[in-house]
Amino acid sequence: MHIHFLDSYRPGDSLIHRLEARIKFILTIAFILTTALTPQDAWPVYLLLLTIVLSVIVLSDLGVGTVLKRAMLAIPFILAALPTVFTLKGEVAWQVSLGSLEIRFYQPGLVRFVSIALKSWLSVQAAIVLASTTQFTDLLMAMRAVGVPRLMVAIFSLMWRYLFVLADEALRLMRARAARSGQSDRPDLKPGGNFAWRTRITGGMAGSLFIRAIERSDRIYNAMLARGYDGEVRSRPLPKFELIHWLMLIGGLLALVCLLGLAHFGF
């Protein structure tokens, strides 16, 4: 099976892959909400949350290393929280003198910074597991189940269908531009043009994508009409949510609630 470089889904047959999409979807969001609601210095609870997510990763056969590596992508944003270390005043954890400059690392600031980093890291791992073990069509069904309007789901569905087609077009546009981005042998000439020119060219590429997309949508619309589309979005009924599913869902939610209770009142 040709895996498009963009697709996050990794086919597999693990317990997590086979788990009902609606349960996975709701529990992932609940897990992220739990990390968000966990108090900043409830370190033992963070450890428990990490254990939970790592266990799920192991059960999903995704490979802990692979998931952790992908989780690193969200790290750059942590710079936004870095200043808090120096501005959230309280007990001084560490002091550094650079000439006449005194740089203080405050403890409350450090606590906040580390907790933000942890919450973010835990949340993104959960999101990666969800996306890697659930086919997009199943995620759409989960969205329908939690109440996302049919029209919205239909737009998602069509976007997904054409996402890779258009992404490939974008890739080819960039390759075509690269192929014509040459450097002359003449030493007096500077390649690359200026910023304004480069961005306008990129804009033309985007414009080309959009125009072709709009014209393609005309053809898609005609094809849909030919199959009896009348504007009303109908979809297959959702498969039955069995008792065992309810039990798993409620069990998972209860576990997270208990963890929260522990976090807030147990320490």
Site for another protein in 21-80 (CB under 8 A): 28-29, 32-33, 35-42, 70, 73-74, 76-77, 80
CB of 240 to another protein, least distance (A): 25
Question: Which range of residues in 12-20, 98-106, 226-234, 241-249 is near another protein by CB under 8 A?
Answer: 226-234
Which is nearer to another protein, 65 or 247 (by Cβ)?
Answer: 65
Which is nearer to another protein, 171 or 238 (by Cβ)?
Answer: 171
Question: Which range of residues in 16-24, 54-62, 148-156, 243-251 is near another protein by CB under 8 A?
Answer: 148-156
Asked whether the beta carbons of 49 and 28 are under 8 A apart, the reply is no
Cα gap 132→258, rounded to integer Å:
27
CB of 196 to another protein, least distance (A): 6
Tokens 């690193």 correspond to what residue? 72
Which is nearer to another protein, 94 or 221 (by Cβ)?
Answer: 221
Which residues, numbered 93-112, are part of the site for another protein (CB under 8 A)? 108, 111-112
Which residues, numbered 195-214, are part of the site for another protein (CB under 8 A)? 195-214
Q: Of 233, 248, 255, 262, which one interacts with another protein (CB under 8 A)?
A: 233
Task: Please choose, from the candidates 203, 214, 165, 122, the residue with its C-alpha nearest in 3D space to the C-alpha of residue 7.
Answer: 165
CB of 87 to another protein, least distance (A): 4
212 to 13, 176, 221: CA distances (angstroms):
38, 17, 14
Which is nearer to another protein, 30 or 58 (by Cβ)?
Answer: 30
Cα gap 197→107, rounded to integer Å:
49
Q: Does 146 bind another protein (CB under 8 A)?
A: no
Which residues, numbered 1-20, are part of the site for another protein (CB under 8 A)? 2-3, 5-8
State the DSSP H helix or E strand holding residue 95, giving kind and residue range, or none if neither: strand 92-98
CB of 22 to another protein, least distance (A): 14
Q: Of 47, 64, 103, 158, which one interacts with another protein (CB under 8 A)?
A: 158
Helix (H, G, I), strand (E, B) or coil at 12: coil
Q: Copy the structure tokens of residue 195.
A: 């910023």
Asked whether the beta carbons of 253 and 27 are under 8 A apart, the reply is yes
Per-position DSSP letters for 119-147, written without gaps between them: HHHHHHHHHHHHHHHS-HHHHHHHHHHTT
CB of 63 to another protein, least distance (A): 15
Asked whether the beta carbons of 244 and 153 are under 8 A apart, the reply is no
Pinpoint the alpha helices (H) of 146-242: 150-179, 195-226
- State the Rg of the chain over Cα: 25
Q: Copy the structure tokens of residue 252.
A: 């998972």
Q: Does 135 bind another protein (CB under 8 A)?
A: no
Size of the site for another protein (CB under 8 A): 117
CB of 59 to another protein, least distance (A): 20
